Structure 1
Amino acid sequence: MTEAERGDNATLFPQPVGDRLRAARERQGMTLAEIGARTRVPLRHLEAIEGSNYSLLPSPTYAVGFVRAYARAVGEDEVVMARDARVEALKTPREKPQYQPYEIADPTRVPSRGLVIAAAGLGLAIVVLAILWFATGLIRSEGSAPDVTPSVAVAVPAAQPSAAPALSATGQVTLTATDEVWARVYDAANETLYLGTMKPGERFDVPPGANNPMINVGRPDKLQVTLNGSMLPPLGTGERAIKDVPVGAAALAAKVNGQPTPAAAPVAATQRTDTAVPPAFAGAPGADASADRRDAARP
């Protein structure tokens, strides 16, 4: 078979994404564990991608995000790989949830008619006795002279709200994942401090000496932020991804204390093409398609 014939067959019958990624990994002499360490994607999900078994992944959106990270790690075109992976994932049948029929309550547990009538009669008797008791009390109070006690107005000082102690502008900022969430933490020089997918319960301590650390995160509502052990409000509602949000101790303390945020040095504009939030982890609908358009427009 000539090279032209092999090229035509590759076009008509393209290899699955998993086979292409495995071949690229083997050409570089890398193991699947090394890919997992670089991308922070669970090993079981990488094995499912190489086996083209997308039914073992949480959703087609997650599959596309994992394939992007895998392709980036082995130097393949992540846009092409993500596009082909989406087509394969949508063709993969997924198991439908099994619904259990609703169990009707046992009729023998319903109170009998006689018991209901007896309870209603007892309630009516209580109401009648209560009315008679109040009526006799009013009659007795009308027959006796009321005791008039002069009222004295006493000024009560208004309670002063106690001010909450201000947070310290220095200390340790810790990011803890409450669910599987993608995040990138970087400093003012655009040097990556953390990049990958955090598993539930996994935490990352922001270096206290980092220069204006910031974060890009797809689901900020899945990320718990603490400063010196004190829990802070979420970075976002999770309706959309956020980026370039300061996570330094000084910036977070100023935000909680209602003080102006300290002026931060601008983030370096170089090498920003890999800092976008992967559409697989974006919170807003439609973010996947817009990210693909941005990636396709890159030189």
Structure 2
Amino acid sequence: MAEDNNVEETEAENAELSLHSSGEMLRHAREQKNLSVEDIAKTTRIPQRHLESIESGDFGALPGRTYAIGFAKSYARTVGLSEVTIGSLIREEMDDQGHNAYEPEISGYSPANPSNMPPKYLAFTAAGIAAVLLIGFLVWRTLFLEPDDFINAGSETEFVDNSANDGVIDGAIEPVGPAPSVTGTVILTATETVWLKIYDEDGERLFEKEMATGEKYTVPADAKGPQILTGRPDALTVTIDGEVVPPLGAADRTIKDVGISAAALLARSNPGGSTTDNAGTAAGDEDVPE
């Protein structure tokens, strides 16, 4: 007799439960787990107002049919109900309420299992690591990679054959006034930002830097066979005692081992013979290096 009563009570409960809407079933399951709507919102990342609309059956307040079903399924998974069953009930209830037509989906809603979503700190950490690597590379390139490496690394870098430039270069500025002396003062003036290296015939470095526009460098008078390496000879104006001499090389052509003493520069301007200054014939002219 007691068993019959238990069976009847169970059937009565199942019958009563079958009359509940999907929202009531979700709410009942939530309350059994002692969870609030806010707790469900935090777990599913679904706005609390949408969860409340699902519980009350107010589907018109939801962003669209697709999202309403997706929200309900996520809710069901969280409270331990069958998402298939809840999804079917939601569809039927929305059809009964006239929400069976297609409604455009609104971006910004993405019900998902938060366990499948990477934590935000991972994204920030990855971005930070990328920034540190970029900064490190730029510092390394600036401090440790010599300009010579850039010049020698490129397969397309073309060095000038100085033997072909012993004559006057096209477009050279003709000196005006008295001829400069082979013992005159040589000054290099940057007309644009340009990197250059000055060294003597023994390879000892005399000067190396990236000169700014307007910056000048005076070649030491006691330098032994001073020579130059630069990738922008056209960005330098060369004078001897204030008189402009022909450019050291063509535009955008790397030059190397080009003599920049007064004697060597004047020899480039007068390849056919000795160079004369105001005092007479100059001795010890320096040949332009190959």
TM range (shorter): 0.3 to 0.5
